[in-house]
């Protein structure tokens, strides 16, 4: 039985422009886009609100926040996953790549235990049971400065919906934490470390990187290819970092820390992604390059909510205002991330595309998501 939905009298955000019109959805697919303000019989009147493609989130730590809402407080995983999924639907995210770290440190004072394999199985169990509202994929954050990366990545395969593998290296003194004082403030505050504890922590990480880093980087690239996943870099800082990224076949650069690195990414055809909190706050909490600066230099392609899901839509509209082009701003959280992650059926309002869409009003300068549809079904 054919199921049809008509969303009329909307400001429809297309790939390169915004038009007043109506969008028809048939059996979960966009089948027509008609200009005009008329509201056909049986259609839903959007009263001039924006109708945008559903947002696509490539990197979020939000699930971890639900699982551990406070330090040393573990929440039941099923409840946390469902709450995470509902939160994303409520802020207009219809496709998410849930970031999970692989590569743990089970020994010593700075222990960090593995969790990605077991958590992803719980996630897929809930998906199969119909408990989730939006589309989920995995983003494995491969930490090369670790002890267990090889065995953890070997536990995943092509059937696990691993869409992205990012190469991370959080060794102190480079990339995100070139400024050791920033790392010190973060780690000591989070883990209640003494000065001596922190010194030991830094020494242990550097030793671990020297022993395992090169091998782990090679393994992560190989395993990403085995999964059929897109490779991403993380915190590229120098043009040399980007040259290595390009050699690995990386297509996406997460959070480059300098203008020079972002420019080198574009020179190599690598898309640049920055964090929405950086853009909205006006700068990086780690002291790295501001996302707004890259946007002004036309070096920003994709935005990620990182740790604030609601920031994704806010940042896209902020960029639209900055560039004087709403469609271009919205593309940084829809079309561009779809292309970077290899999703060919979503990210645009166009005939034949998957009908993931959101209705958005702007009230007192803030975006308000009034409705979210996934494949034509309202989920929020």
The domains of the chain, with CATH numbers, are: 1-53+348-380 (2.30.40.10), 55-345 (3.20.20.140)
To which residue do tokens 């709450």 refer? 83
Q: What is the dihedral of CA 23, 310, 93, 38, to 10 degrees?
A: -10
The pLDDT of residue 214: 82
- Which tokens is 376 given? 């034509």
The pLDDT of residue 146: 85
374 has which bridge partners?
377
DSSP helix, strand, coil percent of the chain (3-state; round to 5): 40, 25, 35
Q: Which residues contact 101 (CB under 8 A, 6 or more apart)?
A: 112, 115, 116, 140, 141, 143, 168
> Alpha helices of the chain — where are they, by DSSP H?
62-67, 77-90, 116-128, 149-154, 180-191, 195-227, 239-248, 259-267, 276-281, 291-296, 311-323, 326-331, 335-341
Q: pLDDT tens digits for 120-174?
A: 999 999 999 999 999 999 999 999 888 899 999 999 999 999 999 999 886 665 5
DSSP characters over 271-317:
EEEEEHHHHHHTS-TTS---HHHHHHTT---EEE-BT-TTHHHHHHH
To which residue do tokens 């509201």 refer? 39
Q: Which residues contact 136 (CB under 8 A, 6 or more apart)?
A: 85, 95, 96, 97, 98, 123, 127, 161
pTM: 0.91
Q: Do β-strands 18-26 and 4-13 pair in parallel, antiparallel, or remain unpaired?
A: antiparallel
Q: pLDDT tens digits for 310-319?
A: 999 999 999 9
The pLDDT of residue 354: 98
Question: What's the whole-number average pLDDT of the chain?
Answer: 91
Question: In this structure, are residues 49 and 33 in contact, taking their beta carbons and an 8 Å threshold?
Answer: no
- Which tokens is 141 given? 């954050």
What are the residue ranges in the chain where pLDDT is below 70? Answer: 106-111, 170-203, 205-206, 208, 213
The pLDDT of residue 278: 96
Q: pLDDT tens digits for 204-219?
A: 766 767 777 689 999 9
């Amino acid at each position: 039985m054919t199921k049809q939905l008509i969303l009329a009298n909307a400001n429809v955000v297309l790939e390169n422009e915004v038009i007043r019109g109506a969008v028809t959805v048939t059996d979960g697919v966009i089948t027509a886009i008609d200009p005009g303000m008329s509201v056909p019989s049986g259609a839903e009147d959007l009263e001039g609100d924006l109708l945008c493609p559903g947002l696509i989130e490539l990197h979020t730590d939000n699930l971890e926040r639900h699982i551990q809402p406070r330090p040393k407080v573990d929440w039941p995983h099923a409840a946390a996953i469902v709450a995470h999924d509902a939160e994303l639907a409520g802020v207009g995210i219809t496709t998410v790549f849930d970031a999970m770290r692989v590569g743990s440190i089970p020994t010593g004072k700075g222990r960090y235990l593995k969790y990605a394999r077991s958590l992803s199985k719980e996630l897929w169990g809930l998906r199969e049971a119909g408990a989730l509202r939006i589309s989920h994929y995995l983003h494995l954050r491969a930490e090369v400065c670790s002890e267990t990366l090889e065995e953890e990545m070997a536990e995943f395969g092509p059937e696990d919906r691993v869409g992205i593998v990012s190469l991370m290296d959080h060794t102190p003194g480079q990339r995100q934490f070139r400024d050791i004082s920033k790392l010190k403030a973060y780690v000591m505050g989070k883990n209640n470390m003494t000065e001596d504890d922190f010194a030991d922590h830094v020494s242990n990480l550097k030793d671990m990187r020297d022993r395992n880093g090169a091998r782990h980087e090679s393994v992560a690239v190989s395993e990403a290819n085995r999964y059929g996943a897109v490779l991403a870099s993380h915190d590229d800082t120098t043009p040399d970092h980007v040259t290595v990224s390009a050699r690995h076949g990386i297509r996406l650069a997460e959070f480059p820390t300098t203008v020079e690195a972002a420019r080198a990414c574009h020179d190599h055809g690598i898309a640049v992604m920055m964090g929405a909190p950086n853009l909205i706050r006006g700068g990086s909490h780690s002291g790295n390059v501001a996302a707004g600066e890259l946007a002004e230099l036309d070096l920003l392609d994709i935005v990620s909510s990182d740790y604030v899901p609601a920031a994704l839509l806010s940042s896209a509209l902020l960029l639209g205002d900055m560039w004087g082009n709403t469609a271009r701003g919205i593309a940084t959280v829809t079309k561009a991330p779809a292309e970077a992650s290899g999703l060919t059926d979503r990210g645009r309002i166009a005939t034949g595309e998957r009908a993931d869409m959101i209705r958005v009003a702007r009230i007192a300068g803030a975006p308000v998501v009034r409705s979210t549809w996934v494949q034509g079904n309202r989920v929020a």
